[in-house]
Chain A
Amino acid sequence: MKILVCISSVPDTTTKISFTNNSTEFDKSGVQFVINPNDEFGLTKALQLKEANPGSTVSVIHVGSDTSDPIIRKALAIGADDAIRINTEAVDALQVANEISIYVKANPFDLILTGKESIDHNGAIVPHALAEILGIPSVSPCIGLEIDGSEAKLTGIVDGGKEEFSASLPVVAGGQKGIVEEKDLRIPNMRGIMQARSKPLNIVTASGSASSQRIANFDAPTPKAACKMVDANNMEELVNLLQNEAKVI
Chain B
Amino acid sequence: MSVVIYIEHTEGTVKKNALEAASYAVKYAEKTGDTAIGVAIGKVSEDEIKKVGTVGLSKVIKVDGHDYLNHQKVAAILAEVANTLGANTIIFAGSSEGKATGPRLAIKLSSSVISEVVGTPSSTAPITVKKKCFSGKGLANVELSSDKNVIIISTNGFGVHEKTVDCVIENTSSTASDDSIKHLSFDRNTEGVSLPDAELVVSAGRGLKGAENWGMIDELAASLEAATACSKPVSDIGWRPHHEHVGQTGIAISPNLYIAIGISGAIQHLAGVSSSKTIVVINTDSEAPFFKAADYGIVGDAFDVVPKLTAAINAAK
Contact = CB atoms under 8 A, between A and B. Distances in A.
Nearest to B99: A124
Nearest to B185: A164
Contacts, number: 252
Interface in A214-249: 214-222, 224-225, 227-233, 235-236, 238-243, 246, 248-249
B96 interface: yes
Given A224-B294, A225-B295, A246-B278, A235 B200 contact: no
Interface residues of B, number: 93
A51 interface: no
B296 A218 contact: no
B248 A94 contact: no
A158 interface: yes
Contact of A227 (B71, B140, B248, B291): B291
A230 B101 CA distance: 43
A228 to B, nearest CB: 5
B249 A37 contact: yes
Given A129-B107, A228-B296, A162 B184 contact: no
A212 B145 contact: yes
A167 B104 contact: no
Interface in B93-115: 95-97, 99-104, 106-108, 112-115
A186 interface: no
Interface in A126-173: 126-129, 131-133, 136-141, 153, 156-168
B58 interface: no
B207 interface: no
A61 B200 CA distance: 40
A122 B308 contact: no
Given A165-B182, A227-B294, A248-B257, A122 B132 contact: yes
Contacts of B106: 94, 125, 129
Q: For chain A, what secondary structure do more than half of its interface residues adopt (helix, strand, loop), or is it mixed?
A: mixed
Interface residues of A, number: 79
A220 B130 CA distance: 12
Interface in B268-317: 268, 271, 274, 277-281, 291-301, 304-305, 308-309, 311-313, 315-316
A200 interface: no
Nearest to B187: A162
Nearest to B232: A182
Interface stretch (B19-27, B40-48, B167-175, B189-197): B189-197
A92 B112 CA distance: 10
A120 interface: yes
A216 B143 contact: yes
A14 interface: yes
A166 B132 CA distance: 33
Nearest to A121: B133
B278 to A, nearest CB: 4
Interface in A190-230: 212-222, 224-225, 227-230
B104 A129 contact: yes
Q: For chain B, what secondary structure do more than half of its interface residues adopt (helix, strand, loop), or is it mixed?
A: mixed
Contact of A163 (B75, B128, B186, B242): B186
A242 B257 contact: yes
B181 interface: yes
A42 to B, nearest CB: 14
A51 B274 CA distance: 39
Nearest to A101: B107
B142 interface: yes
B316 to A, nearest CB: 5
Contacts of A121: 133
A225 to B, nearest CB: 7
A243 B99 CA distance: 32
B146 interface: yes
Nearest to B144: A213
Interface string A31-49: 0000001000000000000
29 contacts: A14-B267, A14-B268, A120-B134, A121-B133, A122-B134, A122-B135, A129-B104, A138-B72, A159-B8, A161-B186, A161-B187, A162-B186, A164-B186, A164-B187, A177-B249, A177-B250, A182-B249, A212-B112, A214-B145, A219-B140, A233-B308, A236-B312, A238-B298, A238-B312, A239-B309, A239-B312, A240-B316, A246-B277, A246-B296
For the complex of A and B, the 9 pairs showing the least CB-CB separation, nearest first, are: A232-B300, A212-B112, A128-B103, A132-B107, A235-B312, A248-B257, A137-B181, A164-B184, A129-B103
Interface of A: 11, 13-14, 16-17, 19, 26, 37, 92-94, 119-129, 131-133, 136-141, 153, 156-168, 177-178, 182, 212-222, 224-225, 227-233, 235-236, 238-243, 246, 248-249
Given A93-B103, A219-B139, A224-B293, 10 more contacts: A120-B135, A122-B134, A123-B115, A125-B102, A140-B100, A160-B189, A167-B181, A216-B141, A235-B311, A239-B312
